[in-house]
Structure 1
Amino acid sequence: MRVMIISEVIQDDGFDGAAKMKERLQRRNQTRIEDAERRKEEKESRSVAEEKDEYFSKMFGEQRAAIEELLSGCSGADRAAVSQKLEEATAKTAQLQKFLNDSVLFLTQYELRQSQAALQKLQASLAEAREKALPKKKFAFRARSKAADKVSAPEPAPPAAGSGEVDSAAAAEQSGFSNMDNEFLTKTSEEIQKRDVLLTHLTNCKVRLFGSPSTLHLKHIHGCEVLCGPVSSSVFVDHCSNSTLGFPCQQLRTHNTTDTQVYLHVTSRAIIEDCQGVSFAPFSWSYPNLDQDFSVSGLSRERNNWNQVDDFNWLAAGTPSPNWTVIPEADRKTSWDP
């Protein structure tokens, strides 16, 4: 009898052990299957990302090379050919900017910065090529009377401080103001629409640019308030201090700028380099034809990355750059009329 009981216990333990062993094997097999599926999904995800990166690099490189070829073809060409090449290069550059904007979501920060830097270089080359080729003579400047009469006064050399406004007849593709102090300056939509606008060496001036320029360049701006309508491509700021700026644009690139407020609407990401004390808030200036100028520019009203700023001098991951801040709502300017 005792032997039979022991045998039955052994048999019962054997059955339980086999069941537990089977259960463990099933769990282990299920884990292997899940791991295999996860590795497969990760591999597919990496493959898709690599394909996107490869496609972006290929397309960006090809479009960039096409623009560079157009710019190099301007050398030695006649005025009509140069004008056509520059117009085509401008269109292709805008398309390249849009392609970059649409690819932001899957690009790494390094790839994004490299691409933005390359695009900025292209845009600067385009502006330089236009400045050299159209027209083929130096800009003429003209004095501004108190009654705002605009009498043309060509000079062979750059103007002295306070002397004037770029002659739009001599520089049909470019408009702006240069070397002025303590002035209230305006440009109408007809004067700047689809042109490059250059503001340089202005001190204690208030500037209002109504319309949609192609690009906006600000150089050596001190103690000024500059407001501009929607810029269809890029704004470049260099050596600006103690100023207030406001504009919508596709891209903002700021260098060597200190203690300056920027009221911004930007559809990509703003870039600062060698800057300190720059602060940002949403673009808030308004004028009667602003909606129409937004349509002309092609900028999205809904997409505004005003507080997404890349500082090329600050690479500490996870730590905010000390070189820029957001303007507190209570301190933001809401009234712009002089």
Structure 2
Amino acid sequence: MINMAHQEDAKERFYRNFRMQQANIQEQITHLPSIAPVAGERQDATEVILTNISRLTNDVRDATHFLPAYDHRVYTDAVNTLRKELDETTAKLAPKSRFQFRPRPPAAVDGDDAPKSDSRRLVNNRDGTKGEKTNGQPPISPPLSPGGGGSRGRSRSPRAIKVEGERDAVITLPADHSRTSSAGQLIDLSSCVVNLCSPTVEASRAAPFASLMLKGVEKSVVVAGHVDGPVHVTGLKRCVVVVTARQVRIHDCEEVDFYLWVRSEPIIEGCKGVRFAPLPEGMETGAEGENKWKEVKDFLWLKEGQSPNWGVLGEGERVKGEVWRGAMGDEGGDVKGVLGRFGIA
């Protein structure tokens, strides 16, 4: 009895340590696209991730003597998934080898003759954000703007787009954002409607995100569009998420409906009441291959049989195409009305 109790304690300690290391590695991979490649910074960060994965691999190998065979396979699969995810992320970030001509700098344009997207038309608003200069009119908000609330949590850069801390807002990407971002982050949002779809999906300017992170979002609808690499979802509650991605990892979420096109099996950990469905009608992105939206793996369900933590969203329970089209076309700021159509109060 003493020996069995000791083994159970060892399994529990190993589980907690594994989860902590796994979460740390996943966060490092998610932030890799936002690290500048200059002076070897990104390469150094990649080496750190590889070292951490190697250490975790050794820990799993050393635990063979007290882990059951099934548990050991689950942990091994989890480490292999991390390694694959890193490989896919670094492949997306690798510089193109072929020669490309540089575009000529634009000719000087003065004043109101500059196009609306020209950075020379941007002026500073009183709240510190950038707006466009108009003919005698007050500056307007930047393209990445909610239907309500302030502009406290939005930033754009050549490498990433980040929206953080918004409440009761309709948030959309501007049409000219299609080639400005390689990573997306949505953090700490509540009662929001987020539409990142058009610039990342439209064939005329198809430029998917390299990766996407959703963290701490509640009572919101997120239409994330097309992501070439991994999507990390952590701490969502009572949300609806739509995304096309290569890989989707879901952690510590409750009562979230996912409408997916995903190339590999979705992975969940620490979730309750999450449901899955294929992409809604009319929101397909033309991705090729098999959609594995319902081949979900629960890494914390170590028993045989169906995990009680997730299920398939029945056809009669899925949001209809006309509701999606109406909701995504409503940018007037009626957040409560849009959320109500999705059953989110």
Sort the TM-score into its range (normalised by shorter chain).
0.5 to 0.7
Equivalences for residues 13-92 of structure 1 within 5 A? 80-82=38-40
Equivalences for residues 51-200 of structure 1 within 5 A? 80-82=38-40, 111-120=76-85, 142=129, 149-150=141-142, 162-168=150-156, 171-188=157-174, 190-191=176-177, 193=179, 195-200=182-187
Shift of 1:123: 7.9
Q: Which residue of 1 aligns with 2:260?
A: 264
- Does the Cα contact within 8 Å between 2:256 and 2:274 map onto a contact in 1? yes
- Does the Cα contact within 8 Å between 2:244 and 2:261 map onto a contact in 1? yes
Q: Which residue of 1 aligns with 2:299?
A: 312
Q: Which residue of 2 aligns with 1:250?
A: 246
Q: Relative to structure 1, is the Cα distance of residues 187 and 258 closer, same or farther in structure 2, using a 3 angstrom cutoff?
A: same
Q: Is 2:200 the counterpart of 1:204?
A: no
Q: Relative to structure 1, is the Cα distance of residues 191 and 286 closer, same or farther in structure 2, using a 3 angstrom cutoff?
A: farther
- 2:293 alignment partner, SS class: coil
Give the number of the structure whose alpha-carbon radius of gyration is greater: 1
Aligned to 1:278, which of 271, 274, 280? 274
* Farther-moved stretch of structure 1 (186-195 vs 216-225): 186-195
Q: Distance in 2 between matches of 1:85 and 1:200?
A: 26
> Per-residue CA shift, 1:206-233, capped at 9, x if unaligned?
0000301111100110000000221000
> Per-residue CA shift, 1:117-152, capped at 9, x if unaligned?
34457789999xxxxxxxxxxxx9738999961299
Unmatched 5+ stretches in structure 2:
1-27, 48-72, 93-126, 133-137, 201-207, 328-345
- Does the Cα contact within 8 Å between 2:37 and 2:43 map onto a contact in 1? no
Q: Is 2:218 the counterpart of 1:222?
A: yes
- 1:115 alignment partner, SS class: helix
Sequence identity (%): 23
Q: Distance in 1 between matches of 2:244 and 2:142?
A: 29
> TM-score if structure 2 supplies the norm length?
0.53
- Does the Cα contact within 8 Å between 1:205 and 1:223 map onto a contact in 2? yes
Larger relative contact order (C-alpha < 8 A, sep ≥ 6)?
A: 2
- 1:336 alignment partner, SS class: helix
State the number of aligned residues.
215
> Per-residue CA shift, 1:228-260, capped at 9, x if unaligned?
221000110011000000001010001110000
Aligned to 2:309, which of 293, 316, 323? 323
Q: Distance in 1 between matches of 2:178 and 2:128?
A: 17
- 2:215 alignment partner, SS class: strand
Q: Distance in 1 between matches of 2:143 and 2:256?
A: 34
Q: Distance in 1 between matches of 2:153 and 2:257?
A: 25
- Aligned letter for 2:237? S
Q: Distance in 2 between matches of 1:314 and 1:308?
A: 14
Shift of 1:195: 1.1
Report which of the two has the higher share of helix: 1
Q: Relative to structure 1, is the Cα distance of residues 241 and 121 closer, same or farther in structure 2, using a 3 angstrom cutoff?
A: farther
Q: Relative to structure 1, is the Cα distance of residues 236 and 271 closer, same or farther in structure 2, using a 3 angstrom cutoff?
A: same
Unmatched 5+ stretches in structure 1:
1-66, 90-107, 128-139, 153-160
Q: Relative to structure 1, is the Cα distance of residues 260 and 147 closer, same or farther in structure 2, using a 3 angstrom cutoff?
A: farther
